[in-house]
Chains A and B, each alone.
Chain A
Amino acid sequence: MRILKMDSKYLKEFLESLRMFGKLYGPIWKRDVLTHDHVENVDDLVLDGEHTLIPVKKLFHPKRFNTMRFNEEGFTPNYSMFEKRVLIGAHPCDIHSLLRLDEVFLTDPADPYYKGLRENTAIIGFSCLPTENSLCRSTGTDIVESGFDLFFVDLEDIYLVWVGSSLGHDMILEKEEFFDENVTHADIQKYIQWREMRNDMFKKSFNFRDMPDIMELSYNSEIWDYFAEKCLSCGSCTMVCPTCNCYTLTDVFDVTNKTEGRRERVWDSCMFVDYSLVAGPHNFRGKRADRLKLWYTHKLKAFGGEYGRPACIGCGRCVDTCPVDINVLTIAEAFTSCEVPAK
């Protein structure tokens, strides 16, 4: 992979130049909440590593949209959301989350909405510093080797820039004068020091590697009941987790006597009571403990049979978000020590 360096003073101008490759998106503040949205002014971008409340998945797996319009003759898919986009400021964990979602949504038959949004979006990654609850060092997702077009590592006066695709290469070519092939020993030293400094900043960790076995062994543990009694079934953990991908489809008819309407797709959660409700009515996961088990099996054991790896990419959002402290840390701790947390 090509690695270049760029003087930090060019950053703004370079990011501006990316508009020719698509509409700019990235983390910006809105109503006191950091969110991935359209970027009018590159100065608004927040590139220091703070996490958005809702992860980047929302740009590829929209929270709520109409998949199609239908009538008696057939249906017309709604691809109106496709546009050329450049996503700036994706952290390593964001990029890993997209690679995980790719396994779910791009495996044949691919999800056309996700695929279209993904294919039309360039990814400009940015290095970050750990937040209070970052766990990506535990999950091995603190660095990325693929999944971006360009990746910028912020070393204060310079950026080291990894070129990850031919599109990334084209972006560099447009502003060739900003980039220097000559990465010196001093630059490399600086990078190594930065890595060490960053590694030392992680405040929390957990034993991610052993969790699949522990989860398997604990499937019938009564510890689940302790968490089930606490869980509010609010679904927040699912909405904020970058690798949760479940959705529900609802046919919304038009107010007319003709057979026509739209099919709406909305993020769903296995924490909600009707998630496993089928005709009958039978509910495979009516109990809160069973819902939690599914969630944590996905995150810490295996993401369904086909996708062998646990889905957690260590962003720490479940730790930030759950009002009653049910998260990968407390779950891992309880099942590793076989003790429930002290009140």
Chain B
Amino acid sequence: MANEQQIIKPKIGIYGLTGCAGDQLVIIHTEDEILNLFNSVDIKSFVMASSNPEEGELDVAFVEGSVSTEEELHHLKDIRKRAKILVAMGNCALCGGPQAMYTGDGTFDTRVKQVYGDVDFLTKPLEGAPVDAYVEVDYYVPGCPVDAKQLFAAIARLIHGSSPEPYPHPVCHECKLNENKCLLLDKKFCLGPVTAGGCNSACPNHGLPCVGCWGPNPDGNFKEHFELLQSFGMTKEDIVRRIRNFGGHKILEYIKDL
């Protein structure tokens, strides 16, 4: 009989850059899984669970938030160096978040001056950017905040040395599984078809439009969707403004020719 194998728990770190900490909260608030998580991984750094981090080598680092200061950029690069796998979680880390909604509109310096005037910052502000603008990202878990089921499914895959399952479907998929009447059929605004799904169609379940908070669905037919919304009487400027609220850096490439 073989000796019972020593279980090697993956070393993980959970980090937040600029964001609302909502994704980290999802982890700590998922009561069904939090004990399982603490039992099956070795958490080296997670500010919500312990104030005594050990910043060494990691098997997996989870990063929430956008890179919005030079200090965060150094921190991110350090995390990347130490982690075998880096997972970006949440809209801010994936797209830049609402703080990136004006990306590319004039210069960043002008916008900083407009908002803050002439002040000395503790660390140099950077235009809010997704994590993969600076470092390589191995896996993405979208959300605003992330969905506990999807995140823990990804974590469980990583614990088992396997890769998280992507979900490249629009919000409409779950919206129909939830048997909602489509808002578009009533000529109402909804960004479901061009938005990454996985939120369990949280807004349409309440008769509210999808506002795109999970970021772009790369397969989205942006051109036709814009035309459809315009046929409802919306202006293109209005659609662009709304889709940029959460679209950050990532949305720009999808709407650049529209």
Name the residue of chain A whose CB is nearest to the CB of B169: A272
Q: A48–B48 Cα gap in the complex (Å)? A: 56
Taking a contact as CB atoms under 8 Å apart, the answer to whether B228 and A324 are in contact is yes
Q: Among A229, A255, A272, which residue has its beta carbon within 8 angstroms of that of B156?
A: A255
Name the residue of chain A whose CB is nearest to the CB of B166: A274
Q: Among B152, B177, B185, which residue has its beta carbon within 8 angstroms of that of A255?
A: B152
Interface size for B (C-beta < 8 A) is: 41
Q: A266–B225 Cα gap in the complex (Å)? A: 26
Q: A254–B225 Cα gap in the complex (Å)? A: 38
Q: Is A214 an interface residue (CB 8 A)?
A: no
Q: Is A273 an interface residue (CB 8 A)?
A: yes
> How many CB-defined contacts (below 8 Å) exist between A and B?
106
- Measured between beta carbons, the chain B residues less than 8 angstroms from A235 are 169-170, 172-173, 176
Name the residue of chain B whose CB is nearest to the CB of A35: B179
A-B contact pairs, 11 of them (CB 8 A): A30-B179, A53-B179, A232-B193, A234-B172, A235-B170, A239-B173, A253-B160, A255-B36, A255-B37, A257-B7, A321-B182
Q: Is A110 an interface residue (CB 8 A)?
A: no
Known: A255-B33, A323-B182. A232 touches B169 (CB 8 A): no
Q: Is B78 an interface residue (CB 8 A)?
A: no
- Measured between beta carbons, the chain A residues less than 8 angstroms from B153 are 250, 252-253
Taking a contact as CB atoms under 8 Å apart, the answer to whether B220 and A233 are in contact is yes
Q: A323–B184 Cα gap in the complex (Å)? A: 6
Taking a contact as CB atoms under 8 Å apart, the answer to whether B193 and A233 are in contact is yes
Name the residue of chain A whose CB is nearest to the CB of B37: A255
Name the residue of chain B whose CB is nearest to the CB of A34: B179
SS class of chain B's interface: helix, strand, loop or mixed?
A: helix
Taking a contact as CB atoms under 8 Å apart, the answer to whether A256 and B224 are in contact is no
Taking a contact as CB atoms under 8 Å apart, the answer to whether B179 and A33 are in contact is yes
Taking a contact as CB atoms under 8 Å apart, the answer to whether A250 and B165 are in contact is yes
Q: Is A198 an interface residue (CB 8 A)?
A: no
Q: Is A267 an interface residue (CB 8 A)?
A: yes
Taking a contact as CB atoms under 8 Å apart, the answer to whether B224 and A231 are in contact is yes
Known: A33-B179, A272-B219, A321-B182. A234 touches B160 (CB 8 A): no
Name the residue of chain B whose CB is nearest to the CB of A233: B219
Q: Is A8 an interface residue (CB 8 A)?
A: no
Most chain B beta carbons < 10 A, residue from A255, A321, A324: A255
Tell me how far the C-beta of A234 lies from the nearest C-beta in chain B, rounded to whole angstroms.
4
Tell me how far the C-beta of A330 lies from the nearest C-beta in chain B, rounded to whole angstroms.
15
Name the residue of chain B whose CB is nearest to the CB of A250: B165
Known: A230-B224, A323-B185. A256 touches B36 (CB 8 A): yes
- Measured between beta carbons, the chain A residues less than 8 angstroms from B182 are 236, 321, 323
Q: A230–B222 Cα gap in the complex (Å)? A: 10
Q: Among B177, B185, B225, which residue has its beta carbon within 8 angstroms of that of A321?
A: B185
- Measured between beta carbons, the chain A residues less than 8 angstroms from B7 are 257
- Measured between beta carbons, the chain B residues less than 8 angstroms from A64 are 177
Q: Mark A226-265, 1 if CB is under 8 A from B, else 0.
A: 0001111111100110000000001011111101010000
Q: A238–B200 Cα gap in the complex (Å)? A: 18
Taking a contact as CB atoms under 8 Å apart, the answer to whether A288 and B221 are in contact is yes
Residues of B within 8 A of A (CB): 7, 9, 33, 36-37, 39-40, 152-153, 155-157, 159-160, 162, 165-166, 168-170, 172-173, 176-177, 179-182, 184-185, 192-194, 218-221, 223-225, 228
Taking a contact as CB atoms under 8 Å apart, the answer to whether A33 and B169 are in contact is no
Taking a contact as CB atoms under 8 Å apart, the answer to whether A231 and B181 are in contact is no
- Measured between beta carbons, the chain A residues less than 8 angstroms from B180 are 33
Name the residue of chain B whose CB is nearest to the CB of A256: B40
Q: A340–B87 Cα gap in the complex (Å)? A: 46
CB contact list, A317-336 vs B, under 8 A: 320-321, 323-324
Tell me how far the C-beta of B172 lies from the nearest C-beta in chain A, rounded to whole angstroms.
4
Taking a contact as CB atoms under 8 Å apart, the answer to whether B224 and A232 are in contact is yes
Taking a contact as CB atoms under 8 Å apart, the answer to whether B176 and A239 are in contact is yes
- Measured between beta carbons, the chain B residues less than 8 angstroms from A273 are 168, 218-219
Tell me how far the C-beta of B231 lies from the nearest C-beta in chain A, rounded to whole angstroms.
9
Tell me how far the C-beta of B174 lies from the nearest C-beta in chain A, rounded to whole angstroms.
9
Taking a contact as CB atoms under 8 Å apart, the answer to whether A259 and B160 are in contact is yes
Q: Is A32 an interface residue (CB 8 A)?
A: yes
Name the residue of chain B whose CB is nearest to the CB of A259: B160
Taking a contact as CB atoms under 8 Å apart, the answer to whether A234 and B159 are in contact is no
Name the residue of chain B whose CB is nearest to the CB of A269: B173
Taking a contact as CB atoms under 8 Å apart, the answer to whether A229 and B224 are in contact is yes
